[in-house]
Amino acid sequence: MPSLINRRAFLTGIAAGAAVMAAPSAAKSAPSPKREDSSAPKPRLQAPPPGLADPAFRPLPVGSIRPEGWLLRQLRQQADGLTGHLDEFWPDVGQSQWFGGPAEGWERAPYWLDGAIPLAWILADKPLQARIGHYIDHIVKSQRPDGWYAPYPIDASAKPYDLWAILLANKMLVQYHEATGDARVLEAVVRNLKAVLAALDRTPLFGWGKFRWFEGLIAVYYAYEKTGAPWLLDLARKLQAQGFDYRTFYGGEDVTVPTPRRGLWKWDKHVVNTGLVPKAYALTWRLTRRDDERAFPAKILEVLDQHHGQVTGMFTGDECLAGKNPIQGTELCAVVEFMYSLEHLLALTGEPAYGDRLERVAFNALPAAFAPDMWSHQYDQQVNQVQCTINPDHMWTTNGPESNLFGLEPNFGCCTANMHQGWPKFAAHLWMKTADEGIAAVAYAPSTAAFDVRGTPVRVACATDYPFRETLTITVKTDKPVRFPLVLRVPAWAGDATMKPPRGSEVGLRAGTFFRTEREWKDGDAVVLRFPMAVKTSRRYNESIAVERGPLVYSLKLGETWTRVNADKPHRELPHGDFEVRPATPWNYGLIVDEKKPAADIVFEERPVGERPFSAEGAGVAARAKGRKIPTWKLNQGWAGEISPGEAESKEPVEDLTLIPYGCAKIRVTEFPKLKG
Q: Look at residues 479, 495, 530 and tell me which one is the last residue of a structural domain.
A: 530
Bridge partners (DSSP) listed for residue 548: 536, 553
DSSP string, 183-246: HHHHHHHHHHHHHHHHHHHHS---HHHHHTGGGHHHHHHHHHHHH--THHHHHHHHHHHHS--H
Higher pLDDT, 214 or 7: 214
In a domain, 449, yes or no: yes
pLDDT at 47: 52
Please tell me whether residues 215 and 91 are part of one structural domain: yes
In a domain, 94, yes or no: yes
| 430, 62 contact by CB (below 8 A) | no
Q: Which helix (H) or strand (E) holds 625?
A: strand 621-629
Tell me 592's DSSP state. E
d(CA 564, CA 38): 80
Which is it for the CA torsion 400, 381, 300, 215, positive or negative?
Answer: negative
Average pLDDT over residues 27-49: 35
The per-residue pLDDT of the chain, averaged, comes to 92
Would you call 385 helix, strand, or coil by DSSP?
strand
**Cβ within 8 Å of residue 146, ≥6 positions away:** 195
pLDDT at 34: 28
Q: Are strands 439-441 and 482-490 parallel, antiparallel or unpaired?
A: parallel
Q: C-alpha dihedral over 112, 113, 115, 117, to 10 degrees? A: 150
In a domain, 511, yes or no: yes
**Cβ within 8 Å of residue 281, ≥6 positions away:** 214, 246, 247, 293, 294, 296, 297
d(CA 677, CA 674): 9
Please tell me whether residues 501 and 557 are part of one structural domain: no
Please tell me whether residues 559 and 501 are part of one structural domain: no
466: domain range? 441-530
In a domain, 96, yes or no: yes
Please tell me whether residues 165 and 222 are part of one structural domain: yes
d(CA 606, CA 470): 11
pLDDT at 49: 59
Single out the residue of 311, 312, 313 nearest to residue 278, CA to CA: 313
Q: What share of the chain is helix, strand, coil (3-state, %, to 5)?
A: 35, 20, 45
Please tell me whether residues 514 and 542 are part of one structural domain: no
pLDDT in tens, 140-182: 999 999 999 999 998 877 788 899 999 999 999 999 999 999 9
Please tell me whether residues 526 and 547 are part of one structural domain: no
- Residue spans of beta strands (DSSP E) within 363-441: 380-381, 431-433, 439-441
Please tell me whether residues 520 and 539 are part of one structural domain: no
The count of structural domains within the chain is 3
pLDDT band at 676; cut points 50, 70, 90: confident
pLDDT at 156: 74
Tell me 91's DSSP state. H
pLDDT in tens, 52-90: 999 999 999 999 999 999 999 999 999 999 999 999 999
- Determine the length of the chain: 677
pLDDT band at 1; cut points 50, 70, 90: very low
pLDDT band at 50; cut points 50, 70, 90: confident
d(CA 278, CA 246): 10
Helices (H), 142-182: 164-180
* pLDDT surpassing 50 at residue 13: no
pLDDT in tens, 86-135: 999 999 999 999 999 999 999 999 999 999 999 999 999 999 999 999 99
Please tell me whether residues 76 and 221 are part of one structural domain: yes
pLDDT at 485: 98
Please tell me whether residues 503 and 632 are part of one structural domain: no
| 492, 356 contact by CB (below 8 A) | yes
d(CA 390, CA 491): 40
Tell me 270's DSSP state. B
d(CA 410, CA 401): 9
d(CA 193, CA 196): 5
pLDDT in tens, 177-206: 999 999 999 999 999 999 999 999 999 999
| 345, 59 contact by CB (below 8 A) | no
CATH number, domain at 470? 2.60.40
In a domain, 489, yes or no: yes
Least confident of 62-66, 233-237, 261-265, 353-357: 261-265
Single out the residue of 410, 314, 389 nearest to residue 357, CA to CA: 314
pLDDT in tens, 391-442: 999 999 999 999 999 999 999 999 999 999 999 999 999 999 999 999 999 9
Please tell me whether residues 575 and 614 are part of one structural domain: yes
pLDDT at 36: 27
In a domain, 392, yes or no: no
In a domain, 594, yes or no: yes
Q: Look at residues 244, 277, 311 and tell me which one is the last residue of a structural domain.
A: 244
* pLDDT surpassing 50 at residue 41: no
**Percent share of the chain, pLDDT over 90:** 90
Please tell me whether residues 591 and 488 are part of one structural domain: no
| 65, 178 contact by CB (below 8 A) | no
Taking the alpha carbons at both ends of the chain, their separation in whole angstroms is 46
Please tell me whether residues 91 and 226 are part of one structural domain: yes
Average pLDDT over residues 371-387: 98
Q: Which helix (H) or strand (E) holds 605?
A: strand 603-606
* pLDDT surpassing 80 at residue 46: no
Q: Look at residues 496, 530, 564 and tell me which one is the last residue of a structural domain.
A: 530
**Percent share of the chain, pLDDT over 70:** 92
Average pLDDT over residues 648-674: 97
d(CA 543, CA 676): 12
Single out the residue of 110, 218, 102, 210 nearest to residue 161, CA to CA: 210
Please report, for residues 159, 344, 387, the alpha-carbon distance to residue 188 in angstroms, rounded to integers and kept in the order given.
Answer: 24, 24, 47
In a domain, 502, yes or no: yes
